[in-house]
Structure 1
Amino acid sequence: MISILNPSMSRMHRAFSGLVMTTGFLAASVLVAPAHAEVPYFEDAVASGSLPAMNDRLPEHPHVIDFAGEGKEIGKYGGEFVTIMGRSKDIRMAVVYGYARLIGYDQDLNLRPDILEALDVNEEGNVFTLHIRKGHKWSDGEPFTAEDFRYYWEDIVNNDELFPVGPPRFLFVGNEPATFEILDEYTVRYSWSQPNPFFLTELAATRPPFIYRPAHYLKQFHENYRDADELQAMVEERGLRSWAVLHTDIDRPYKLSNIHRPSLEPWLITTEEPSDRFVFVRNPYYHRVDPEGNQLPYIDRMIFNISNAKLVPAKVGAGEVDLQSRILSLKDYTFLKQSEANQNYDVRLWDVGAGAYAALYPNLTCSDPVWREVLRDVRFRRALSLAINRTEINRVMFFGLAQPTNNTVLPKSPLFKPEYRESYTDFDVKAANQLLDAMGLDERNGEGIRLLPDGRQMEIIVETSGENPEHDDMLELVGDSWRQVGIKLFVKGLQREVMRNRAYTGETIMSIFNGIDNGLATPNTAPDEFVPVLQDSLQWPKWGQYYQTDSEAGEAPDMPAAKELMEQYRKWQTSNEAGQKQAWQAILDINSENMFSIGLIGNVPQPVVIDKDMRNVPKKGIHSWEPGAFFGIYRPDTFWWDR
C-alpha cells in the first residue's frame, strides 16, 4: 500500500494535531492498492449483480486505519458480537460505539479526519473548510455530497417549522449564525467573523450533531420537495399533526427508530421497535479499510439484547455476551472474576474519564437566604470536604482500588495539577471544626449539632437521583463523619427530573451526582462544566439558566469568584491555543480554591468483559463518554474473531 496526502492539502503549513487551531488539517492516509478480495458476507449479492464490487463501493480515498499506531493486527471477516442493553432506547449506543464522525478522536485524544477526507482551519479559527471523500456513499448506495450538508443547513435547521428556534448554538458565535457555502460538490465551508472554538469538538462529540442528512431520502417527506396533497396523505396515514412532525419522525440519526433511513455507520439497524433483540448488519458502503485494503467492519453483525438491568451481571457471568461494560460496575467485579474460570471471557479493569465517580453539589443559588449565605462561604465548603473520610469510602466500597479526589480533571489531562485533585481532601476533623467555628457557627444544641445563624439545627438534606445505590451508601459514610463536626446529613431520594427541577427552582440545598464528564479536558475543550453557563450544573443552576436564556431567566452570577470564571470563559472563547490554556488554568485554579463542588471518590475502575477470542480490543483502555464514546475511539469495526 502507498499512502499519499490529498494533493489539495499540499499548501498547508502544518497538520491539525490534537485540539490545536492551526492553518490546516492533514488528510488521513489514503489507499492506493489493487482490488482486494470481496467481503464474504457480500459475495452472493455481488455475484448476482445486486451489489457493486467492494472497490466500487468504497470512496476513491477510503479512511485507512493506522493499525501500527493503534496496536492492532489484520483481522478476519465474519461472525457477530452480542452485548446487552437495559432499555430498547439504548439502541442509540450503536451510534456511540460505531463512532463514525466527520472528525473524531484517536486513542491519544487527537482530532483526525474520519468521514471527511480533510478539514482546513484558518489561523484565526473562524473559517472551516470541509473536504468530503469523493465516491463516498450512503448505505443505500447514493452519493454523499455537499448537497447533504446544504439540505441540513437550509431545509432543516433554518426551516421555521422543523427548527423554530433556529440552528444549534454551536453554529453561532454570539448572535451571529454561520455563513454556509458550497465550494463544489465535495467541499463546503462554515465561517464566522469571530473564532468558533466549539465547532470541531462538537463534530467529534459522542452524540454528534449530524450537520449532514441523506437529502435524497428525506426530501420525499419535506414540503419544499413533495407534492402537498401527497405529503398530507402521508401525514394523515400516520396520524400525525404536520409534515414537520413526519419529517422529524423519519429523520432520527441518533435514536435509530427508522430502519429505512440511510446511514454512514459501520452497522445498520434492521430491527424495528418494540423488540428485546436488535440486529445490526454491516454497511456495504462503509468508508474505512484496514492497512491491506480490507473493508471494515470485520464482524458482520452486532446484536443488542435487551434485559432488566438487575439481571445483566448474572447474564454476563453466564457467558451470554461477547463484549460488555454497560450496566456493570465495580461491585460486580468479584462475581465476574469468579465466573471467569468457567466461561470463555476476560474481565479487564479500564480507567474512567469522569472527574469523579461521585460529587456533592452545594446549591449556591438556593432560595433559602440563610443556607445561601452559609453555602457561599468558602470556609464552609472546605470544612465539609475536610470532614469526609474518603479513605474509608474507598476501602469499604471500592476495595481500595479507587482514588480520593476532588471533582476535577484527571492526571492524563494536559491541564492537570496535583493540587486540583488533592486540595482539602485529607480527613481532618480538627481543621474542619476550626473553619466552622471561625464562621461563627460555634453554637450547638444538646446533641452537639451546630446551629445556623437563625437558630435552626444544621441539617443538610442531600438529594439524590435514586439511580445509583452506591451514592446512598457513600452518603451514609459521609453522614457518620460529618456528625463529628456537628452536622446532620439526611438523604432524600428522587427521580432525576424531579431532583433537577428542585435544584433549578432553588429548593435543593445540596445534591449528589456523578462528577464532571470530561476529566480528560484539553485547552481546546470547552470548559462549560467548570463555569456557570449550564443550568444542569447543580452547584449554580440559576446562574447557568441566566446564561443559557440570555438573561431572561435565572440569576446573574453575583459572587466575585463566579464573575471571574465568566471573564476567563470569555477569554477562552476569543483566544488562540496559548490563551485558551491560560484561561483554562485560571478556571481550574478558581475551582480548586473555591470547592464549588466536592468530589468524594474517583478513578473507580470500570469492569469490561471481553470474549477471549475477540481480537483488537485493548487490554487497558479509558471508559469515557466524552471524549471517547466508551469503545468508540478503539474502533469496534476493527474487532475480529480468532476462531
Structure 2
Amino acid sequence: MRKNLSVLVIMLVVIGILLSSFSISFAQKAQPRRYYYSTPSEYTKLTGKKITKYNEAPALAELVKQGKLPPVEKRLPDEPLVVDPPEEIGKYGGEYRSAGFGPQSGQVDSETVRVQHILQINPDLKTLTPNIVKTWGISKDFREVTLILRRGMKWSDGTPFTADDFMFWYEDIASNNDLTPVKNTAWTPGGKMMVMRKINPYTIKITFAAPYPAVDITLAKSYIYGRFFAPKHYLKQYHIKYNSKANDIAKKEGFADWIQCFNYHYAYGQNQMDTNLPDITPWVLTKIDEAGNKYYERNPYYWKVDTAGNQLPYIDRQVVVIVKDAQVRIMKIISQELHAAGENPLPVKEYTLYKENEKKGDYTVYLFNNTRGSDWCVAFNLTHKDPILRKIFNDIRFRQAMSLAIDRKQINDVLYFGKAVIRQAVPPPETSFYEDWMGKYYIEYNPDKANALLDEMGLKWDKDK
C-alpha cells in the first residue's frame, strides 16, 4: 500500500515591499463547506442526517470488554463535536511517526495534529466555529466573553472537564506571580489582567478592561496563550496553595522549589515531560524512552466523532523520533521512517531532493500555500531619526520605486523553482478584506519607471556611493 508521506514544502513565497495604508472593504461571505458541527443536533439540523450510534477503536472496545474502560457512550460528552471528514470516513489503526530535534523542541509535525483551541479556525481561514467549548458569545462592546463547556466532557484519565479547570488556570497559574511573573498581552487588553468568573460548572465569563474585538481570534489560538485551563485534579498536588508539602515533593523530585516542580508537571505540548499529565488532546503522552523518543497513545475520552459516529482519532498512536539534525531527518524521510515532515516548513532548497526520491521512497511531496501572505518583505523605517531619510522613506514614490526595482521573477526562478506566487506583501486572498489590486500593486520589474519616480522626487544619483 502506498504510504501518503506528506512532505509539506510551503511555497507561497512573496517578495514585496510594504507600501502604504489601504482602504478596507468587506466582501460578501460565501457559504463555506462545513467540516465541523458543534453538536450532533446541529449536524442533524443543518444536514438532515442523524448519528444513531457511537463506535470506537477495536483496541478500546477490547478494554471495554475487559471492564477496564466504560462504554464509548459514557466516555464521550453529552454532545460531542462532529467532524465531517474532507474525503471519506477513516479506518482505525496505524501509527503516525514524525521527527523531533530535541525532547522539548522541534516537534511541530506531531504537535500541530494534537493542538486543540477553544475555538476552531476553519479551512477557509475566515469562519470560526466552537471546538473545546460547545458555544460562545461576545458582548456588543467586546468587553465580555461567555464560554459554554460541553457537559460530560472528560480529561484523558476520565475526570470531568469543567469550569473549575479554567478557574484553576486563571487564579492559580496565570494570576500567580510566582508561576507567571509576566502576563501575556493576550490576557491584558487595556493594560489590566482579564477577569474570569465561574457562573456554573459549565459556564465561564471573561471580562476585559477595554474593548477586545480580536478576542475570538485569541480564543482560536488559545493553545499558544496558555490554553485558559489546566487539570486541577492532577496539578494541585504540586501547588503550594493546595498542598503545604509541595516544596517537599519538589525536593524529592530534584527541584529547587515547588515553582520549578509545578512548571515541570504543567508543561504541555512539545515541552511536556510528565507522562502522567492528563490532557484533552487526541493522543496523550505515555512514554519517553532513553533516546528521548516520545510515544503518544490514543485518548479514550476524546470528545469528537465523525459523521458515522466513530470516536476520533482514527490513528492509534503518535511517535516522535528524535533526530540529530536536518540531514538525519532527510534520510529518514527518504527511507520511509517518517510519515510526515514539514516543520517550519521544510527548506525550499530540499524540494528537488525530495521530488527526485519521491517514487523510490514511496511518498508524496505536497506544496501548500503559506497563510502568512508573504515570506519576505522589505520595509523602511518611517520614523527614522534622520529627518532626511524619514522624509524620503515617507514619500510613497520612493517605496514604489524600490518595489519596481525588484526582479521578483528572477528570485522566484532561482530560489523557488518558479513555484512561488509573485505578489505584494499583503494579506492572503482568503482574507475577508482582501482586494485583487493589493497583491498586484507595483510588483512588475521596471527599473526605468523606478528611476523616473526617484527623479520626480528630486533625488540625485551619486556614482561615488
Give the TM-score band, short-chain normalised: 0.7 to 0.9
Unaligned 5+ segments in structure 2 are 1-27, 30-36, 44-49
CA RMSD of aligned residues (A): 2.9
Q: Residues 358 and 284 of structure 1: is their aligned pair in 2 closer, same or farther, counting only changes over 3 Å?
A: same
**Residue 242 of structure 1 aligns to which amino acid in structure 2?**
D
1:102 to 118, 121, 140: 118
Q: Secondary structure at the match of 1:380?
A: helix
Tell me if 1:232 matches 2:247.
yes
Q: Please tell me whether the aligned partners of residues 144 and 208 of structure 2 are also in contact (alpha carbons under 8 angstroms).
A: yes
1:29 to 20, 40, 44: 40
Tell me if 1:129 matches 2:146.
yes
The equivalent of 1:285 in structure 2 is 301
1:267 to 283, 305, 317: 283
Q: Secondary structure at the match of 2:439?
A: helix
Deviations 1:440-499 (A, max 9, x none): 54142xxx35xxxxxxx3xxxxxxxxxxxxxxxxxxxxxxxxxxxxxxxxxxxxxxxxxx
Q: CA deviation at 1:193?
A: 6.3
**Residue 401 of structure 1 aligns to which amino acid in structure 2?**
K
The equivalent of 1:198 in structure 2 is 214
Distance 2:347 2:108 in 1: 21
Q: Residues 359 and 181 of structure 1: is their aligned pair in 2 closer, same or farther, counting only changes over 3 Å?
A: same
Distance 1:410 1:357 in 2: 11
Q: CA deviation at 1:418?
A: 2.6
Report which stretch shifted further, 285-294 or 401-410: 401-410
Q: Residues 94 and 197 of structure 1: is their aligned pair in 2 closer, same or farther, counting only changes over 3 Å?
A: farther
Tell me if 1:310 matches 2:342.
no
Distance 1:365 1:238 in 2: 52
Deviations 1:219-264 (A, max 9, x none): 111111102xx21212323443432232222211232232221111
Q: CA deviation at 1:63?
A: 0.9
Percentage of pairs with the same residue: 31
Q: Secondary structure at the match of 1:359?
A: strand
The equivalent of 1:220 in structure 2 is 237
Distance 1:111 1:60 in 2: 22
**TM-score normalized by the length of structure 2:** 0.81
Q: Secondary structure at the match of 1:74?
A: coil
**Residue 71 of structure 2 aligns to which amino acid in structure 1?**
A
1:256 to 241, 266, 272: 272
Distance 1:92 1:241 in 2: 30
Distance 2:150 2:61 in 1: 25
The equivalent of 1:80 in structure 2 is 95
Q: Residues 197 and 440 of structure 1: is their aligned pair in 2 closer, same or farther, counting only changes over 3 Å?
A: same
Q: Please tell me whether the aligned partners of residues 91 and 256 of structure 1 are also in contact (alpha carbons under 8 angstroms).
A: no
**Residue 65 of structure 2 aligns to which amino acid in structure 1?**
A
1:407 to 421, 425, 430: 425
Distance 1:58 1:157 in 2: 29
Q: Please tell me whether the aligned partners of residues 28 and 112 of structure 1 are also in contact (alpha carbons under 8 angstroms).
A: no
1:345 to 347, 356, 363: 363
Q: Please tell me whether the aligned partners of residues 312 and 328 of structure 1 are also in contact (alpha carbons under 8 angstroms).
A: no
Q: CA deviation at 1:289?
A: 0.7
Q: Secondary structure at the match of 2:40?
A: coil
Tell me if 1:154 matches 2:154.
no
Q: Please tell me whether the aligned partners of residues 171 and 199 of structure 1 are also in contact (alpha carbons under 8 angstroms).
A: no
**Residue 94 of structure 1 aligns to which amino acid in structure 2?**
S
1:171 to 172, 175, 187: 187
The equivalent of 2:4 in structure 1 is none
**Residue 245 of structure 1 aligns to which amino acid in structure 2?**
Q
**Residue 268 of structure 1 aligns to which amino acid in structure 2?**
V
Q: CA deviation at 1:61?
A: 1.0
Q: Please tell me whether the aligned partners of residues 131 and 186 of structure 1 are also in contact (alpha carbons under 8 angstroms).
A: yes
Q: Residues 163 and 322 of structure 1: is their aligned pair in 2 closer, same or farther, counting only changes over 3 Å?
A: closer
The equivalent of 2:34 in structure 1 is none
**Residue 132 of structure 2 aligns to which amino acid in structure 1?**
I
Report which stretch shifted further, 273-282 or 343-352: 273-282
* Aligned pairs for 1:60-75 within 5 A: 60-67=78-85, 71-75=86-90
Q: Please tell me whether the aligned partners of residues 109 and 342 of structure 2 are also in contact (alpha carbons under 8 angstroms).
A: no
- Aligned residue pairs total 420
Unaligned 5+ segments in structure 1 are 1-16, 19-25, 450-456, 458-643
**Residue 146 of structure 1 aligns to which amino acid in structure 2?**
A
2:161 to 115, 134, 144: 144
Q: Secondary structure at the match of 1:310?
A: helix
Distance 1:50 1:436 in 2: 76
Q: Please tell me whether the aligned partners of residues 386 and 428 of structure 1 are also in contact (alpha carbons under 8 angstroms).
A: yes
Q: Secondary structure at the match of 2:107?
A: helix
The equivalent of 2:129 in structure 1 is 112
* Aligned pairs for 1:450-599 within 5 A: 457=465
The equivalent of 1:420 in structure 2 is 438
Q: Residues 240 and 369 of structure 1: is their aligned pair in 2 closer, same or farther, counting only changes over 3 Å?
A: farther
Q: CA deviation at 1:33?
A: 5.3
Deviations 1:510-549 (A, max 9, x none): xxxxxxxxxxxxxxxxxxxxxxxxxxxxxxxxxxxxxxxx
Q: Please tell me whether the aligned partners of residues 99 and 107 of structure 2 are also in contact (alpha carbons under 8 angstroms).
A: no
Q: Please tell me whether the aligned partners of residues 146 and 185 of structure 1 are also in contact (alpha carbons under 8 angstroms).
A: yes
Q: CA deviation at 1:365?
A: 5.1
* Aligned pairs for 1:378-457 within 5 A: 378-444=396-462, 448-449=463-464, 457=465
**TM-score normalized by the length of structure 1:** 0.60
Q: Residues 217 and 65 of structure 1: is their aligned pair in 2 closer, same or farther, counting only changes over 3 Å?
A: same
Q: Secondary structure at the match of 2:124?
A: coil
Q: CA deviation at 1:425?
A: 1.8
Q: Residues 373 and 246 of structure 1: is their aligned pair in 2 closer, same or farther, counting only changes over 3 Å?
A: farther
Q: Residues 101 and 274 of structure 1: is their aligned pair in 2 closer, same or farther, counting only changes over 3 Å?
A: farther
Distance 2:182 2:224 in 1: 20
The equivalent of 1:301 in structure 2 is 317
Distance 2:326 2:446 in 1: 39
Q: Please tell me whether the aligned partners of residues 139 and 263 of structure 1 are also in contact (alpha carbons under 8 angstroms).
A: yes
Report which stretch shifted further, 72-81 or 168-177: 168-177
Q: Residues 264 and 439 of structure 1: is their aligned pair in 2 closer, same or farther, counting only changes over 3 Å?
A: same
**Residue 397 of structure 2 aligns to which amino acid in structure 1?**
R
Q: Secondary structure at the match of 1:112?
A: strand
Greater RCO, CA 8 A, separation 6+: 2
**Residue 143 of structure 2 aligns to which amino acid in structure 1?**
N
Q: CA deviation at 1:282?
A: 0.7
Distance 1:215 1:92 in 2: 26
Q: Secondary structure at the match of 2:302?
A: coil
**Residue 179 of structure 2 aligns to which amino acid in structure 1?**
L
**Residue 52 of structure 1 aligns to which amino acid in structure 2?**
P
Q: Please tell me whether the aligned partners of residues 318 and 343 of structure 1 are also in contact (alpha carbons under 8 angstroms).
A: yes
Q: Please tell me whether the aligned partners of residues 202 and 209 of structure 1 are also in contact (alpha carbons under 8 angstroms).
A: no
Distance 2:452 2:318 in 1: 58
Deviations 1:193-227 (A, max 9, x none): 65321222111116353101101111111111102
Distance 2:447 2:457 in 1: 16
Distance 1:435 1:412 in 2: 32
Q: Please tell me whether the aligned partners of residues 190 and 208 of structure 2 are also in contact (alpha carbons under 8 angstroms).
A: no
**Residue 123 of structure 1 aligns to which amino acid in structure 2?**
K
**Residue 281 of structure 1 aligns to which amino acid in structure 2?**
E
Distance 2:265 2:191 in 1: 30
